[in-house]
Amino acid sequence: MSRGWSYVSGDWWILCDVCSRKIKASESKKRWDGFQVCADDYEQRHPMDFIKARADKISVPFTRPQPTDQFTSVTYADTQNTTIPSGTNNGEL
Ligand SMILES: [Zn+2]
């Protein structure tokens, strides 16, 4: 392994994708994210990236159908009173 401007047949210079240091291609490594990096910047993919989460069970064990709405008919007494009575509120009950 050599440093500097030495010639190695079949080898070439590249720049590290992280630190831009000039390194020989034979000294570089391809990282999990596709970057071609020097040995100092090489890192393995974190194991947590491979954990596959289970799908949550969000349904209840059983259900019942929603009942139909029931309406009650109300008959109002007709007082024949169509005016608003006059008066004031003095705050007493
Ligand atoms: Zn680097």
Domain boundaries, the chain: 10-40
Q: For residue range 36-87, what is the model confidence (pLDDT) as tens digits?
A: 999 999 999 999 999 998 998 889 999 999 999 999 999 988 888 888 878 8
Q: How far is the CA of 1 from the centre of ligand 1 (A)?
A: 17
Report how far residue 17's alpha carbon sits from residue 37's, in angstroms, rounded to the nearest whole number.
6
Q: How far is the CA of 12 from the centre of ligand 1 (A)?
A: 16
CA torsion 45-46-47-49 (nearest 10°) is -90
Q: How confident is the model at residue 34 (pLDDT cuts 50, 70, 90)?
A: very high
Q: How far is the CA of 50 from the centre of ligand 1 (A)?
A: 25
Report how far residue 38's alpha carbon sits from residue 23's, in angstroms, rounded to the nearest whole number.
7
